[in-house]
């Protein structure tokens, strides 16, 4: 398997673990409980969150299995999409740890784009 596919798949694993760490910290800090008091989540909203968080997991698989030219563009498009999504959402997070983790995940999105862009 080409080295670049393994690097990109590894980055997606790192991004997913960063998101998971943020979720765990939100649960432990009580931030989730505070949000649940103010926002009534519907089944459709939970489905949307599940679909959104499934994307980085699927990117591990797709990066390793898709044709390299398709995988390259999929990595660029999805990483740019997550970067922009997190950039827009960044001000809405009240906790410093959330902002820190989102910025770190955005750095890995930039790395993904850089690696995929230079993938020969």
The predicted-structure confidence for 82-116, as pLDDT tens digits, reads as follows 999 999 999 998 899 999 999 999 999 999 999 99
Q: How many domains does the chain have?
A: 1
Using alpha carbons only, how large is the chain's radius of gyration in Å?
15
Residue 72 domain boundaries? 3-117
Number of H helices, E strands in the chain: 5, 0
- Tally the residues of the chain: 120
Please count the CA atoms within 13 angstroms of the CA of 113 that sit on its side-chain side.
14
The model's pTM: 0.90
pLDDT at 7: 97
Of 116 and 120, the structure prediction assigns the larger pLDDT to 116
Cα(7)–Cα(30) distance, rounded to whole angstroms? 35
Could you tell me if 12 and 105 are in contact, meaning their C-beta atoms sit under 8 angstroms apart? no
Q: What is the pLDDT of residues 31-86, one digit of tens each?
A: 777 777 777 889 999 999 999 999 999 999 999 999 999 999 999 999 999 999 99
């Amino acid at each position: 398997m080409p080295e670049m596919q393994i690097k990109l798949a590894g980055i997606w694993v790192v991004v997913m673990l960063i998101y998971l760490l943020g979720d765990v910290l939100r649960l432990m800090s009580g931030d989730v409980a505070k949000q649940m008091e103010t926002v009534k989540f519907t089944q459709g909203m939970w489905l949307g969150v599940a679909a959104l968080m499934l994307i980085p997991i699927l990117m591990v698989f797709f990066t390793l299995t898709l044709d390299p030219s398709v995988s390259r563009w999929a990595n660029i498009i999805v990483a740019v999409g997550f970067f922009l999504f997190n950039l827009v959402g960044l001000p809405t997070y009240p906790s410093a740890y959330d902002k820190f983790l989102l910025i770190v995940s955005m750095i890995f999105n930039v790395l993904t784009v850089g690696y995929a862009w230079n993938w020969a």
